[in-house]
C-alpha cells in the first residue's frame, strides 16, 4: 500500500474547509438584502414609499457598522473563536430576520429588527474573511475571491427566490433567507477554526512605520496609566486600540482608502437595481420582443446583475495570482467607475445596451472587494487581523449608508442620471491606493 502524503492530505483538507466557509458565507449573507427580494409586499404591509424603504436597507448597514466598530474597539474578533462568533451571529440574525413576518409590526419595529440583523452580519462577513485566512495562511486572494463571490451570490439570493417563486408571499422569501442562514451556522460550528488561527508572529509585510506607531502608542498608553485621576475617553480608547493603530501601516492605509471609495459605489448600486431594471423590463414588454409570460421580471434581472459579480470575484481572485491584487483591484475599480459615467448616457430605448452595461457593471463593481481584503490582510499585524478587518468594514459600511440614502431619493427623481452620484467613489478610491499602484509598477 502506498502511504498518503501528509502535506497533500492537509492541502485537500484545507481546500475542503475553504469550500465550507464559502458555502456558509453564501448562506449567512442571504440575510443582508432579504427585504429587497420582498420589497413590494413589505412596502405594502408597512404602507411606505421608496425613501422609507431605503432607510430599512440603511438600518442593516447601520447595524453592521455598530457591530464592526464594537468588535474593533473591544477586540472581541480576536479574543474568541471566529467560527463560534460566526455561528452565533448567523443563528441570531436568522431569528431577527424571520421576525419580520410577525403580524402587527410597525415601521419602527421592522427598522429595529433590520438593525439587529446588521449587528449579526458584523459577526458573519468579516469573521468569514478571518476564517479563510486561518485556513489558507499566506496569499489568500484567490480564496477570498470565492468568499466575496458567495457574499455577492447571497446578496442576489432574495431576488432569485422572488424570481423562482413569483407566486410566493413576501413572507416566504424572508423566511427562506433565515433557513439558509441557520444551515450556514451549523456548517461553520461543525468546521471550527483553521490551523493558522493562533499565529502570533508578525508577518514580513509589516513596515517600519507600524513598529514606530506601535511603540509610540505603547509609550502614550503608559503615560496615560501613570497620570492620576486619568479617565480615558472613548476617543482615547479607540486611538489606543489595534483597529486605530493599524492605519499607521502605509500599505494597510492605502488598501483601506481604496476600499472606502469602492464601498461608496457598491451597495448603493445594488440597492437601486430594481429601480434601474424596472424600465428595462417594461421596455422589453412594450416592444413585444418576447411574450408577456416569458419576459424577464425585475427580480430576475436584478438577480442576474448582482450574481454576475460572483464570477467577477472568482475571476479577479485567479487573475491576482498572475498580476497581483493591487492591479486587479485597480482594474475593477476603474471599470465600474467607467460604467458610472457611461450608463446614464445610454438611450432609454436601447435596452440591449443598457442591460449589457449593467451586467458589465455588476461584474466589475464587486470584483475588487476581495482584493482589497487580501491586501489589508497582508499588511495588518497577524495578531490583530480580526480587529483590522472589522474596522475597515465598519468604516466602509458607514460610507454606504450615505450613498444608499442619497441614491434612494435621487433615482426616482432623476432616473439613470442619478448614477453619476456614484462616480466619485471609484475616482477617490484609485487616488487613495496610489501607493500600492506605485509598488506594483503602475505609477
Q: Does 239 score more than 90 pLDDT?
A: no
Q: What is the pLDDT of residue 272?
A: 87
Residue 149 grid coordinates: 463571490
pLDDT, tens digit (0-9, with 9 covering 90-100), for 70-120 = 887 777 777 788 888 999 999 999 999 999 888 888 889 989 999 999 999
Distance CA 78, CA 114 (A): 26
pLDDT, tens digit (0-9, with 9 covering 90-100), for 134-154 = 787 666 677 778 778 877 877
Distance CA 437, CA 258 (A): 11
Structural domains present in the chain: 13-196+234-439 (1.20.1250.20)
339 against 243, higher pLDDT: 339
Distance CA 190, CA 141 (A): 25
Q: Does 302 score more than 70 pLDDT?
A: yes
271 against 36, higher pLDDT: 271
Q: What is the pLDDT of residue 429?
A: 94
Give me the phi and psi of 227, to 5 degrees please.
-70, 135
Cα 100 to the chain's mean position, in Å? 22
By the 8 A CB rule, do 177 and 31 touch?
yes
Q: What is the pLDDT of residue 40?
A: 72
**Residue matched to cell numbers 446583475:** 305
Q: What is the pLDDT of residue 278?
A: 86
pLDDT band at 334 (very low <50, low <70, confident <90, very high): very high
* Coil, helix or strand at residue 90: helix
By the 8 A CB rule, do 124 and 28 touch?
yes
Residue 255 grid coordinates: 488598501
By the 8 A CB rule, do 325 and 433 touch?
no
Q: What is the pLDDT of residue 118?
A: 92
Cα 202 to the chain's mean position, in Å? 27
393 against 276, higher pLDDT: 276
By the 8 A CB rule, do 161 and 37 touch?
yes
Of 43, 177, 64, the C-alpha closest to 110 is: 43
The lowest-confidence range among 222-236, 346-360, 390-404 is: 222-236
Out of 13-22, 179-188, 380-389, the most confident range is 179-188
233 against 120, higher pLDDT: 120
**Residue matched to cell numbers 480587529:** 387
420 against 279, higher pLDDT: 420
Instruction: For the chain, give the percent of residues with pLDDT over 70.
Output: 79
pLDDT band at 19 (very low <50, low <70, confident <90, very high): confident
pLDDT, averaged across the chain = 79
pLDDT, tens digit (0-9, with 9 covering 90-100), for 288-297 = 655 444 456 7
pLDDT band at 335 (very low <50, low <70, confident <90, very high): very high
pLDDT band at 250 (very low <50, low <70, confident <90, very high): confident
Q: What is the pLDDT of residue 81?
A: 84
pLDDT, tens digit (0-9, with 9 covering 90-100), for 348-380 = 888 899 999 999 999 999 999 989 988 888 887
Distance CA 241, CA 305 (A): 39
Count of other CB atoms within 10 angstroms of residue 228: 4
By the 8 A CB rule, do 398 and 405 touch?
no
Amino acid at each position: 500500500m502506498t502511504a498518503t502524503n501528509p502535506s497533500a492530505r492537509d492541502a485537500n483538507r484545507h481546500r475542503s474547509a475553504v469550500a465550507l466557509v464559502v458555502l456558509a458565507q453564501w448562506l449567512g449573507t442571504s440575510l443582508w438584502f432579504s427585504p429587497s427580494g420582498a420589497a413590494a409586499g413589505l412596502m405594502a404591509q408597512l404602507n411606505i414609499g421608496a425613501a422609507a424603504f431605503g432607510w430599512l436597507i440603511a438600518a442593516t448597514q447601520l447595524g453592521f457598522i455598530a457591530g464592526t466598530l464594537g468588535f474593533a474597539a473591544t477586540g472581541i474578533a480576536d479574543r474568541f473563536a471566529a467560527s463560534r462568533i460566526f455561528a452565533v451571529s448567523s443563528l441570531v440574525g436568522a431569528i431577527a430576520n424571520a421576525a419580520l413576518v410577525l403580524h402587527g409590526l410597525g415601521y419602527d419595529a421592522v427598522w429595529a429588527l433590520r438593525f439587529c440583523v446588521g449587528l449579526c452580519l458584523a459577526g458573519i462577513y468579516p469573521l468569514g474573511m478571518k476564517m479563510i485566512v486561518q485556513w489558507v495562511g499566506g496569499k489568500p486572494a484567490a480564496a477570498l475571491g470565492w468568499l466575496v463571490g458567495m457574499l455577492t451570490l447571497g446578496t442576489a439570493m432574495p431576488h432569485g427566490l422572488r424570481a423562482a417563486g413569483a407566486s410566493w408571499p413576501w413572507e416566504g422569501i424572508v423566511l427562506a433567507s433565515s433557513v439558509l442562514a441557520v444551515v450556514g451556522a451549523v456548517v461553520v460550528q461543525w468546521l471550527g477554526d483553521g490551523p493558522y488561527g493562533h499565529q502570533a508572529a508578525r508577518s514580513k509585510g509589516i513596515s517600519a512605520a507600524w513598529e514606530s506607531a506601535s511603540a509610540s502608542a505603547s509609550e502614550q498608553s503608559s503615560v496615560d496609566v501613570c497620570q492620576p485621576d486619568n479617565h480615558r475617553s472613548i476617543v482615547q480608547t479607540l486611538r489606543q486600540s489595534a483597529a486605530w493603530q493599524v492605519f499607521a501601516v502605509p500599505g494597510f492605509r492605502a488598501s483601506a482608502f481604496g476600499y472606502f471609495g469602492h464601498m461608496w459605489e457598491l451597495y448603493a448600486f445594488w440597492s437601486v437595481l430594481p429601480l434601474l431594471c424596472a424600465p428595462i423590463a417594461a421596455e422589453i414588454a412594450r416592444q413585444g420582443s418576447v411574450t408577456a409570460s416569458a419576459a424577464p421580471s425585475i427580480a430576475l434581472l436584478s438577480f442576474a446583475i448582482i450574481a454576475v459579480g460572483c464570477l467577477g470575484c472568482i475571476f479577479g481572485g485567479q487573475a491576482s495570482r498572475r498580476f497581483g491584487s493591487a492591479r486587479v483591484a485597480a482594474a475593477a475599480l476603474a471599470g465600474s467607475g467607467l460604467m458610472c459615467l457611461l450608463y446614464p448616457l445610454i438611450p432609454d430605448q436601447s435596452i440591449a445596451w443598457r442591460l449589457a452595461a449593467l451586467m458589465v457593471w455588476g461584474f466589475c463593481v464587486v470584483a475588487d472587494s476581495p482584493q482589497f481584503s487580501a491586501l489589508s490582510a497582508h499588511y495588518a499585524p497577524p495578531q490583530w487581523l480580526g480587529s483590522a478587518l472589522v474596522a475597515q468594514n465598519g468604516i466602509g459600511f458607514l460610507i454606504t449608508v450615505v450613498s444608499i440614502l442619497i441614491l434612494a431619493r435621487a433615482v426616482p427623481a432623476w432616473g439613470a442620471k442619478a448614477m453619476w452620484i456614484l462616480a466619485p467613489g471609484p475616482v477617490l478610491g484609485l487616488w487613495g491606493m496610489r501607493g500600492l499602484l506605485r509598488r506594483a509598477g503602475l505609477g
